[in-house]
Structure 1
C-alpha cells in the first residue's frame, strides 16, 4: 500500500466532501496498492474510506493480494459480490464511484440502496495521479529515452517503396529490444497526404519519391508511457512545405517556453494556436494541443482552450500542434513535458528541426 498516494486521494475526497470511494480501474488500484490483475468480466474493486483500512475485493481466481495491506474480501464466480460490497459501504453517506464502474455493478448497488447517493468521483484519483512523484518522473524519462532511440530506428527504415504497415509492424520488436514491454498506443505511420489524417492507421501505402513521413509513436516501459511525433522530408522541401513545418515548430517551441506553475492549460494551448492562426492555418489545427500521460497514454486533463486550471509541478503532458491539409500534407511535432518548479523539462531529445531522410 502506498500511503502517500492514498493520503493524496483522501485529501481530494475531503475537498469533495466525500467519505468513501469505490475504485475499479486496475491501473489506479495498482498505483495505490501495488496489486495488479486484469479482471475482465469479474469484479476487482478497492473501497477506500477517508478514515480506516481500505478493502480490496478480489475473485479467488486472481493472484494473491494478501501483501497489499488492504483488508481482503474474496469471492468466487458463483458468489454475488453486491452484498459483499454493500456490507463495507456506509449506506448513510454518499459513495464516490470510479468512471470505469460498469452498469453491471453500479445499477445493482443503487437498487440495493448501498449508499445514500452515488457521485462520480474519479477525479479524486485522477488529480492525484496527475502529479508524478520523483520515481514516476524517472520512469517517464526512461520511457521517453526508449522512444527517442526507436525514432532513430524508424528513420532508418525509410526507403523508396517501403509501406507504412511494414514499418509499423516492425516497431514492437524494436521497443522490446530497447527495454520496453509494449506500445503505449497503436503506432501512426503516415506517408504523404495520409498525414493530413491525424489518426491515420498504417496501411499498404508505399513511400512515394519525395513524400513526407510522419511518425507518432509511444512505448510502455515499467508501467509508464511515452509519446512523440516527428515529421520528416525525403527530398528538399518546397517553400510551401517548409512554411507549414516551421509554423508548427514555432508553435511547439512557443508553447513549451511558457509552461510553468500557475500558467493555465488554456494559455498553453492558445499560445500555440495563435501562431498557427496568424500564419493562416487556424482551421487546419483541428485538435487540442495535448493530453496528460502516465500509466496510460491519454489520462484525464487535456491541454485545450477550455481547460482553465493552472498546471502544477509534477504534471506531465504532451505539446503537439499540427497543421493538416487534406490531399496535400500533414505536419505534427509532439514532445512530452514535465512541469518543474520554475518551468518545464522536455522529455524528448530527438531533433525536431527540418530533416531530410531516406
Structure 2
C-alpha cells in the first residue's frame, strides 16, 4: 500500500467535502495498493477514509476466489460467491457522511448500497483518484519513457512490413510479437493500421485492405510495458507525395511541433489545443481536424483530463499527455502525427524520438 498516494487521495476528497470513498476501478486499486485482479461480475472495492483520529483508514473487499490481498490494506474483508457483499461494505462505512463512489462502481452494487442507506449521500468521487494518478512521480515518468522507447523501436518494424500485397490486418496482428520481443507485455490499445483512404478515418480498424504502392500509410500504436502505456502515430508516404498531400502533412507537423513548444506549467490544456487548431484552420483545413488534440495517459492509454479547447485547467509538472493533431479528408488523405509529452518545470519532455519529417518508405 502506498501511504503517500492514499494521503493524496484523501486530501483531494476533502477538497470535495468528502471523507470516505469506495474505489472500484481495478487499476486505481493497483495504483494505491499494489494489488491487481480483474473482478469481472464480482465485487471488488477499496474503502479509503479517515478514522476517528484523522488517520488514513483502508479496507479491501475481496471475493475469496481472488488472489490473496493480505497486506494490500489495513483491513481485509472477504466473502464467498453466495454472500452478499453489500452489508459487509455498509458495515465499514460512516452512514452519517456522504460517500464518494468510483465511476467504475456498477449499478448492480451502487443501487443496493443506496437502498441500504449505507451513507448519507452518494457523490461521484473519481476525481480524487484521477487527479492523483494524473501527476506522475519520477519512477512513473521513467517507466513512461521506457514504454515510449519501445514504441519508437516498434515503429521501425512496422515500416519494414509495408510491401505490395500485405493487408492492414496482417501487419496489425504481427505487432504483438514484436512488442514482446522488445520487452513489452502487450498492446496498450488495439493498433490502428490504415492504408490509403482508410487513413482519413481517425479510428479505422485494420481489415483486409491490401496495400498498393503509392498508398499513404498511418500507424497509431502503443504498448504496455511494466504496467505503463505508450501511444504514438506516424504517417508515411510510399511514393513521392503530391503537392496536396505534402501540404496536409506539413500542416499537421507544424501544428504538432507548435503545440509541443508551448507546453509548460501554467499554460492551459485549451491553449495547447488551440495552438495546433489555429495552424490547421489558418491553412484552410479546420473542418478536417475532427477531434481534440490529445488525452492524458499512464496506467491506461486514455485517462481523464483531455487536451481540448474546453479544458481550461493549467497543466502541472509530471502530467503526461498526447499531442496528436490530424487532418482527415474523406476519400482523399489522412495524416496524424502524435507524441507523448511529460510536463517539466520549464517546458516539456517529448517522449517519442521517431522523426516527424515527411518520409517516403523505400519499397
- Partner of residue 204, structure 2: 200
Secondary structure of 1:73's counterpart equals: strand
Distance 1:58 1:269 in 2: 42
Distance 1:152 1:136 in 2: 25
Secondary structure of 1:116's counterpart equals: coil
- Partner of residue 126, structure 1: 130
Cα-to-partner distance string for 1:184-239 (whole Å, 9 max, x where unaligned): 00000000100000000001111122110000000000000000000000011111
- Partner of residue 350, structure 1: 354
Distance 1:74 1:144 in 2: 39
Distance 1:14 1:159 in 2: 57
The within-5 A match list for 1:132-151 is 132-151=136-155
Secondary structure of 1:203's counterpart equals: coil
Distance 2:107 2:279 in 1: 44
- Partner of residue 117, structure 2: 113
Cα-to-partner distance string for 1:73-128 (whole Å, 9 max, x where unaligned): 00000101110000001000000000000000000000000000000010000000
Distance 1:46 1:336 in 2: 31
Tell me how many residue pairs correspond in the alignment: 358
The within-5 A match list for 1:180-199 is 180-199=184-203
Pairwise CA RMSD: 0.7
Distance 1:334 1:52 in 2: 40
- Partner of residue 57, structure 1: 61
Secondary structure of 1:127's counterpart equals: helix
- Partner of residue 323, structure 2: 319
Counterpart contact for 2:7–2:56, Cα < 8 Å:
no
Counterpart contact for 2:24–2:45, Cα < 8 Å:
yes
Distance 1:269 1:343 in 2: 16
Counterpart contact for 2:6–2:56, Cα < 8 Å:
no
The within-5 A match list for 1:1-358 is 1-50=1-50, 51-357=55-361, 358=363
Secondary structure of 1:202's counterpart equals: coil
Distance 2:314 2:118 in 1: 36
Q: CA deviation at 1:301?
A: 0.3
Q: CA deviation at 1:284?
A: 0.2
Secondary structure of 2:180's counterpart equals: helix
Distance 2:31 2:7 in 1: 13
Q: CA deviation at 1:335?
A: 0.1
* TM-score, normalising length: structure 2: 0.98
Secondary structure of 1:54's counterpart equals: strand
Q: CA deviation at 1:53?
A: 2.1
Deviates more, 1:44-53 or 1:125-134: 44-53
Secondary structure of 1:161's counterpart equals: coil
Distance 1:252 1:33 in 2: 37
* TM-score, normalising length: structure 1: 0.99
Secondary structure of 2:71's counterpart equals: helix
Cα-to-partner distance string for 1:52-83 (whole Å, 9 max, x where unaligned): 32000001111111122421000000101110
Distance 1:315 1:150 in 2: 24
Specify every segment of 5 or more residues in structure 2 that has no aligned partner in the other structure, as ranges: none
Q: CA deviation at 1:47?
A: 0.5
